[in-house]
């Protein structure tokens, strides 16, 4: 299986950003442990982070011709505001898992609304950075491979 791991705005600051909420692991730590896990499960994994909505959308569009079987995405604040991101994910028709490090439902009201969850295969939140690894294991072992 071929997995694309996407991280949205401000997640490049992981490790130093609000550590009580997001923990001490850096994005590089997350990407490295994600790659190691995917490899051990016989899956390939490519990671991409951007602070720009359009770049995230372009990366999702590119996945269409790359044989990506699943997208794991932490859309960060775009979760709560981006119809364009929702349209991109539904437009490419690649199954995706929405991951949040924090339990967004325990936080401000504006974080309770997601423009993506009703289109996601699965939603993980509140597991800390372990949530990425849970998503990878699930995609690598449970999700049906894309038909050629
Ligand atoms: C987040 C939760 C979002 O509400 C927030 O804007 C983020 C990170 C999380 O991983 O918990 O940037 O997606």
Question: How do the pLDDT tens digits run along the chain, 148 residues long?
Answer: 999 999 999 999 999 999 999 989 999 999 999 999 999 999 999 999 999 999 999 999 999 999 999 999 999 999 999 999 999 999 999 999 999 999 999 999 999 999 999 999 999 999 999 999 999 999 999 887 655 4
CATH code for the part of the protein at 2-141? 3.40.50.9100
123 lines ligand 1 (CB under 6 A): no
Cα 103 to its chain centre, rounded Å, is: 15
The residues pairing with 124 across neighbouring beta strands, listed in sequence order, are 99
User: Which of 27, 75, 78, 79 should be mutated for ligand 1, with most atoms under 8 A from CB?
Assistant: 79
Question: Percent of the chain having pLDDT more than 70?
Answer: 97
Q: How far apart are CA 119 and CA 88, in angstroms?
A: 11
What crossing angle do the helices spanning 130-141 and 27-40 adopt, rounded to 10°?
20
User: Which of 12, 102, 126 should be mutated for ligand 1, with most atoms under 8 A from CB?
Assistant: 102
Q: ipTM of the predicted structure?
A: 0.99
How much is the pTM? 0.96
Atom 2 (ligand 1) nearest CA: 76
10 lines ligand 1 (CB under 6 A): yes
State the closest ligand 1 atom to the C-alpha of 10, by its place in the atom list counted from 1. Answer: 12
Domain ranges of the chain: 2-141
Atom 8 (ligand 1) nearest CA: 76
Is 24 known to be catalytic? no
Q: How far apart are CA 63 and CA 84, in angstroms?
A: 16
Under 8 Å between Cβ of 80 and 110: yes
- What is the pLDDT, as a whole number, of residue 146? 58
Under 8 Å between Cβ of 124 and 46: no
Is 80 known to be catalytic? no
């Amino acid at each position: 299986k071929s997995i694309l791991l996407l991280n949205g705005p401000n997640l490049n600051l992981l490790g130093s950003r609000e550590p009580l909420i997001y923990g001490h692991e850096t994005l590089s730590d997350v990407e490295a442990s994600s790659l190691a896990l995917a490899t051990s499960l016989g899956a390939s994994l490519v990671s991409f982070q951007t602070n720009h909505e359009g770049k995230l959308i372009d990366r999702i569009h590119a996945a269409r011709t790359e044989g990506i079987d699943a997208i794991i995405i932490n859309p960060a604040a775009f979760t709560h505001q981006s119809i364009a991101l929702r349209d991109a994910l539904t437009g490419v028709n690649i199954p995706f898992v929405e991951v949040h490090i924090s339990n967004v439902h325990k936080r401000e009201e504006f974080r309770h609304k997601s423009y993506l969850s009703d289109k996601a295969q699965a939603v993980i939140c509140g597991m800390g950075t372990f949530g990425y690894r849970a998503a990878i294991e699930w995609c690598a072992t449970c999700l049906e491979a894309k038909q050629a």
